[in-house]
Amino acid sequence: MSYLHSDKIKILETKASEIRQAIIDSVLNAESGHIAGALGMTDVFVLLYFHTLKHNPKDPLWEERDRLILSNGHICPALYTTMAYAGYFPIEELKTLRKFGSRLQGHPHREFLPGIETSSGPLGSGLSQAVGMTLADRIDRGRSSNRFFYCLVGDGELQEGQNWEAIQMAGKERLHNLIVIVDRNNIQIDGFTEDVMPLEPLQDKFEAFNWHVINASGHDFDDLDDAIIQAQAVFAKPTVIIAHTIPSKGLGVAERDFRWHGMPNKKIKIEKSKWKITI
């Protein structure tokens, strides 16, 4: 059961709208970047950074913090923007996205920006990193560790075999404080996932590897919060939340269109007059 009250939900919705606008502005300014996944996962990032995570923007290396591992690093405009609004660095710095010498590279670099837990870019490796970090936490703190490891993955990257080795390991070790959130937007750069390399039945696959599975709307804060609360209460196995999202959420002309996965900026400028911003 979610404990979000209506006033808090309104605050989160307003924050998500601001952050979506800032993502669009930063990608346009960079003249490159990935729109679809970033806008689709904005609500997830907002809930995590403004409600769920134990973290401290003033002390990014705080030992007691939860860990957020972003596997599909190309959606980092959403991560950067949310972190900026949460106080990790000045919002003005978002204008440097993908610029030479910027801390905000096209894929996150752990050594560049405090608060980034892992460097990511090669798809399919983040979940393995998260499993390793969670296992290390068990060695250090035992099974009673009170911090969580949240790993965000794209559905397209689940087509890569390394993920399933990590999923198998996590299930075998019963890593209860590992919570994976899958961006189930059904698209990837070449088309729809079920046309390129079908993932379904995705829930059955995770369950076969001894995972607890929760389906949730990626745009309903109450539903997402309820899913995370359920996941935190599971002690016998890891949990995956399959978050059903709309790629390019809020950008009417681009929603659910895989061609906007990483649309070149020249095309964005051409289409800008047709945008129907609904956020």
Most confidently predicted of 33-42, 130-139, 185-194: 130-139
For position 121, what pLDDT does the model report?
78
Long-range CB contacts (within 8 A, 24+) of 106-115: 106/32, 106/33, 106/74, 106/76, 107/73, 107/74, 107/76, 108/70, 108/73, 108/76, 108/79, 108/80, 113/80, 113/83, 113/88, 113/89, 114/60, 114/61, 114/88, 115/55, 115/57, 115/60, 115/83, 115/88
| Residue 45 pLDDT exceeds 50 | yes
Q: Domain containing 42: what range?
A: 6-274
pLDDT score recorded for residue 142: 87
CATH (domain of 35): 3.40.50.970
User: Average pLDDT, stretch 225-234?
Assistant: 97
Q: Which residues of 4-34 are buried (b: 16+ CB within 10 A; e: fewer)?
A: beeeebebbeebbbbbbebbbebbbebeebb
pLDDT band at 279 (very low <50, low <70, confident <90, very high): very low
Please say whether the beta carbons of 107 and 117 come within 8 A: no
Mean pLDDT of 160-169: 97
Phi then psi for residue 17, to 5 deg, are -65, -45
Q: What percent of the chain has pLDDT over 70?
A: 93
Look at the block and give the residue holding tokens 């995370």: 228
**What is the rounded average pLDDT for all residues in the chain?**
92
Bridge-based pairing state of the strands 178-184 and 149-154 = parallel
In a domain, 212, yes or no: yes
pLDDT at 190: 86
**Rounded distance between C-alpha atoms, residue 164 and residue 258, angstroms:** 25
Is residue 103 domain-resident? yes
Instruction: Give the C-alpha separation, 129 to 119, whole Å.
Output: 10
**Residue 26 lies inside a defined structural domain of this protein:** yes
How many C-beta atoms lie closer than 10 Å to residue 253's C-beta?
14
Burial of 3: CB neighbours in 10 Å, binned 0-12, 13-18, 19+: exposed
Separation of alpha carbons 250 and 247, rounded Å: 9
pTM of the complete model: 0.93
User: Does the pLDDT at position 51 exceed 80?
Assistant: yes
Token pair listed for 67: 């860990």
Residue positions counted in the chain: 279
Count CB-CB contacts under 10 A for residue 158. 24
**Number of compact structural domains in the chain:** 1
- What span, in angstroms and rounded, lies between the C-alpha atoms of 241 and 3? 18
Q: What are the tens digits of pLDDT across the range 54-100?
A: 999 999 999 999 999 999 999 999 999 999 999 999 999 999 999 99
| Residues 105/146, Cβ–Cβ less than 8 Å | no
What's the pLDDT at 69? 98
**Which of the four pLDDT bands, split at 50, 70 and 90, describes residue 194?**
very high
Predicted pLDDT at 234: 97
Residue 1, domain member (yes or no): no
Is 86 within the bounds of a domain? yes
Output the pLDDT for position 160.
94
